[in-house]
Chains A and B, each alone.
Chain A
Amino acid sequence: MESLKFVRKPKRPLPQNNRITDQRTLDAKEINPNAEQPSQAATRLIVSSSPHFLNTESVPKIMHNVVTALLPATAASVYFFGWRALLLIIVCVVACLATEYAFQKIRKQPIKIHDGSAIITGMLLAMTLPAGFPIFGAILGSVFAIGVGKQLFGGLGYNIFNPALLGRAFLMATYPVLTTTWVWPRTMEKAIDAVTAATPLVMAKFEGKFDVPIMDMFIGNTAGSLGETSAIAIILGGLYLRYKGYINWKLPLGYLGTIAVFSAIFWYVNPAKYPSPLFHLFAGGAMLGAWFMVTDMVTSPVTSLGQWIFVIVAGILAVVIRLFGGLPEGVMYSILFMNAFVPLLNKHTRPKVFGEVKAQKG
C-alpha cells in the first residue's frame, strides 16, 4: 500500500514544506518577456494578500539576541570553571549545529543553521552540564537534543519539549553518575579537600545542610553545572531579553515567584528541615530555567492564562521534587513535564473572543 512518490511537479516543484519561493518571478520574466506592464515597463507589480507592511522582527534576530543574552553566563562559567567550561560549550554548540545541518541536508531542506536556534540549544545544554563532563557525552547529548528533540518533529518551531532540557534529561538517564559528578569552581578549590564536589542542592538533600552563603550562590561561587551557579550573570541576560521584549515577564517571574512562595511555606513550617526561599531561588537551575528555558517560545503556552498555569504548576513541581523527590534538582523535570501540557493549555485557555457573551465551553 506504499504509494509511489516521485517528483510530482517537475521543473518547478511546488515549494516544499510550505516555503513560498520566488520562482514565479523568474518564470514570468524569462518565459513571457513581452508580458507588458501598462505603464513603466521596468517596474513590476506585485500582488499579495494584506497586510503589506510587516514589522522588522525575524526569527534569526530573536535567536541572536538570546545568544547575546547568554554571553554573561558564559563568561561567568569560564571565570568559575576555567577553559574546560568554554570547551564544553563550544563542543555542544558545534555538535548541535552539525546535527541540525546533517538533518536538513538529509531531508533536502534549506539549510537554516544560521538562524541561531541550534546555537542556543547547544549553549543551554552545555550550561546544564558539570564542567568535568566528558566530551563524548556532550556530543551525544547535543545529537539527541537536536536530532531527536527538534528535527524529528520537523525542526524549529515544531518541537514539543525543550530540546536542551531533553538532551540533558537524556544524558541524565544515560550517564546518571557523570551528570552528577560536580567539580569545585576554581575560586574555592582549596576550601574543601574532597575529590568530588557537592552542589548546594545535593548537600541540602543528602546531608541536610543548606548553609551555603546566599551571596556565594548569587555570584556563582559554588559547585554545580556551568550555568546554574552564577545567578547574577543569568539575571543580567534575562533582563536584556526582557528589555528587548523577547520574553514575557510572566514566565520567569511567575516561575520564580511560585518557587519562592511555595518553598517559603515549608520553610516557615520548619526552617531547620527546609531551606529558605532565597536558597531555592539561587540554588540549582532555577535562575537559568526561569530566564531561558521556561521562556522558550516554542515550548511554552501562548495564552496568558496558559502561561500562568504553566509556570505555577512547574514551580510547585520543582519545589516538590527538590524537597521530596529522589533527585536533588527538579527544575528540569518540572519544565519538561509541563512542556507536554502546552498543547492542551493552548487549546483550553483560549482568551474570550472580543464581544463573546456566553461562557466559553469548558
Chain B
Amino acid sequence: MGMILISALSMGAIGAVLAGFLAFADKKMKVEEDPMVEALTGALPGSNCGGCGFAGCRVFAEALMKGNALPNACVAGGSETSKAVAEIMGVDAGSMKRNIAVVLCKGGNNEAERRATYRGEMTCTAETLTGADKSCSYGCLGLGECVDACKFDAMAMNENGLPVVFYDKCVGCGACARACPRNIIEMHPEDHKLFVYCRSRDKGAYAKKVCKVACIACGLCVKDCSAPGGIALKDNLAVINHDVAPQNDESIKRCPTKCILYGIEESVTRSNYFASIRK
C-alpha cells in the first residue's frame, strides 16, 4: 500500500512541478508569433519528427509561409494534414481567372532555319550563352527548358521541336515563362484566344528568310482588325492589345505566314495529345 501512495504522490508532485513550470513559462517567456504560423503549426502533428526535412513542425510552418515548402511535405500527418494546411493557406482560388501559359513561337524544326549545330549542355539558357544555332535570334531553341521547369506535367516537346502546353493541366504558375531564356512563353487569362505566335523583331525580309512562319510586319492583321488599335505594329512585330482586340478570327485570314492564329491552344489536352502521338 505504501508503495502505491508513494508512487501516486511522487508522480502527482512531478506533475504539479511540471505544470507550474509550464504555466510560468507560458506567461513569462511567450514570444509573439505570426498568427498564421501559429495556425499552421496547430494544424501540423506537432510530433517534430523531422520527416518533412525541416527541423520540426514550426520551422516547417514558417517555410510554408515563406513559400519554401509544399503543403504535402508532412509525412507524419498524412493526407488530412495536407488538406488542413492547404485550407489555411488557401488562396481564394475561385475568384481569380485562371492564367495559362502560351508559347509564342511556331518556328520548329520544319519551319525555321538552323545555320549551325549546337554542342554543349542541352538546355536553352546554356545555348543562349554561345552563339545559338537557330538563325532567328528570337525563336524557340527547342531544348525544352520550359518543359523541365513545369512541375505539373503540363508541357511536352512535340516532334517539331516546340513545346506544347496542355490546356487541362496548366495551373498558371508561370514557371515555364520564367525558365525560357528567350521570353517566348507568356501567361495569359484563359479567355485570351488571339495571338501572334512570333517574337521576331527582325526586319521582314530577314525574318522571312530564316523562318517560314515569322511575323514579317506586313500590317495586314492590323488593317483587318475590326477594333481600331486592337493590333499594332511595334519593332517589326504585330502586337495584340487583348483588352481591345476582339477575340475572334477575323484578323487572321490574310496573314501571309499564318503566324497570327485564333484559339488553337485550348484543344490540346494532355490525354488527346498523347493519344494522337500513340497513333
Contacts and interface: CB of A to CB of B under 8 A. Distances in A.
B119 A47 contact: yes
B120 A32 contact: no
Interface string B143-166: 110011000010111110100000
A24 B133 contact: yes
A35 interface: yes
Contact of A6 (B120, B133, B157, B274): B274
A108 interface: no
Contact of B147 (A8, A35, A44): A8
Contacts, number: 93
- Most chain B C-beta atoms within 10 Å of own C-beta, residue among A8, A9, A18: A9
A290 to B, nearest CB: 38
Interface of A is mostly: loop
A14 B122 contact: yes
Interface residues of B, number: 34
Interface in A1-51: 1, 3-6, 8-12, 14-15, 18, 20-22, 24-25, 27-28, 31-32, 35-38, 44-49
B118 A48 contact: yes
B116 A46 contact: yes
Interface string A39-67: 00000111111000000000000000000
A31 B117 CA distance: 13
Contact of A49 (B114, B129, B159, B277): B129
Interface string B118-154: 1111100010011111010000000110011000010
- Most chain B C-beta atoms within 10 Å of own C-beta, residue among A1, A11, A21: A11
Contacts of B156: 8-10
Interface of B is mostly: loop
A46 B156 CA distance: 27
Contacts of A24: 114, 117-118, 133
A122 to B, nearest CB: 33
Nearest to A1: B72
Contacts of B62: none
Contact of A45 (B116, B153, B158, B161): B116
B113 A35 contact: yes
Contacts of B115: 35, 37-38, 45
A29 to B, nearest CB: 9
B153 A48 contact: no
B276 to A, nearest CB: 10
Interface of B: 72, 109-110, 112-122, 126, 129-133, 135, 143-144, 147-148, 153, 155-159, 161, 274, 277
14 contacts: A1-B72, A3-B153, A4-B153, A9-B144, A9-B147, A12-B159, A20-B119, A20-B120, A24-B117, A27-B114, A44-B116, A46-B118, A46-B119, A48-B130
Give me the 5 closest cross-chain CB pairs, A-B, nearest first: A45-B116, A9-B157, A11-B159, A48-B119, A28-B114
